Amino acid sequence: MQGLVAQMKQHHEKCSFSGESCVEDDKRNMSEQAGSAEESILNIQDSEDYPPSRSPSFSVISELAPNDSVSVTSCMSHSHSISITCSKKKKNLHHPEKTIGKFVIRTSRLQKEVIDEKIARFVYATNSPFRMIENPHFINMVQSLSPGYSPPNRADVTGKLLDKVYEREIEQCAKGLEGKIVKLSLDGWSNVHNDPVVCACMTREEGNVFLTETIDTSRNAHTAEYLQEVAVKAITNCEKKSKCLVRSLVTDNAENVSKMRRNYLEESPKLITYSCSAHLMHLLAKDFSVPE
């Protein structure tokens, strides 16, 4: 750029003082226009008595960027009209590199744990068979809802997820019963394999019911003495884990259970024991039923 400015100064002095023709010099000084960049034309008029060293044309040229290309297209000896074409090269815009990860839907480890637990809770709450979790149609449905996610297998649902959900439910029961006066309900049930179990439920005064314990009684005879041990253990565990206070006990009206209540009342007179009113009304309705 400095060499070009010096050349233009000499050309300007020659045209101003010698009066010689500058056409041939103009042809030699023409340079090729560069690139496909945007172009701007600077037309600069100089007066005859303006000093060459202070010409505005050269001050403008000196302000051009080093990477600009300049070409002289015409020069008149008297008007000193100089047309300069400046073409600026386009700067290469830096585009961030695209990786394959932007085109793939991924499920983080934390997201998978949350979805796994929700699916497991659905299986437990609906009493669905564990083999459903490996059904191809179920897997396709889940992956359609959340691409990039693989549902848990049967072993996870019957193992670590079951333990995880159970522990969280016990924690929720403990929080809901803490510091409350509750009622213990004992009732006998049979599981899907027809094994006898006794369920212990705690009921708050607001009516909220919490299943706190299930006891497998398949290896023991359901005598009044054994059922009393079950009741004492259920009350002790509930008060210890949930930090609540059990003040009443309700059971059904079977003979062995009624005897258990009487025995327990003799040992713990502060505990209120009574039979299930719904069961009592059911038995009463059965006694008054008219045979067909």
For the stretch 264-282, what's the b/e string if a residue is b when 16 or more beta carbons lie within 10 angstroms of its beta carbon?
beeeeeebebebbeeeeee
pTM of the model: 0.52
The pLDDT of 123-131, averaged and rounded, is 92
**Parallel/antiparallel/unpaired status of strands 39-44 and 82-87:** antiparallel
**Higher pLDDT, residue 167 or 284:** 167
- Mean pLDDT over 101-111 rounds to 78
**Residue 48: pLDDT band by 50, 70, 90 thresholds?**
very low
pLDDT tens for 149-177 read 999 999 999 999 999 999 998 888 888 88
Q: Per-residue confidence at 264, pLDDT binned at 50, 70, 90? A: confident
- The pLDDT assigned to 292 comes to 58
CA distance 150 to 105: 12
Whether the per-residue pLDDT at 66 is higher than 70: the answer is no
Q: Residue 39: which pLDDT band, with cuts at 50, 70 and 90?
A: very low
- Output the pLDDT for position 94: 54
- pLDDT score recorded for residue 137: 95
Evaluate whether 245 touches 181 at the Cβ level (below 8 Å): yes
Instruction: Count CA atoms within 13 Å of residue 171 on its CB side.
Output: 6
Q: What's the pLDDT tens digit per position in 237-258?
A: 888 888 899 988 888 888 888 8
pLDDT band at 147 (very low <50, low <70, confident <90, very high): confident
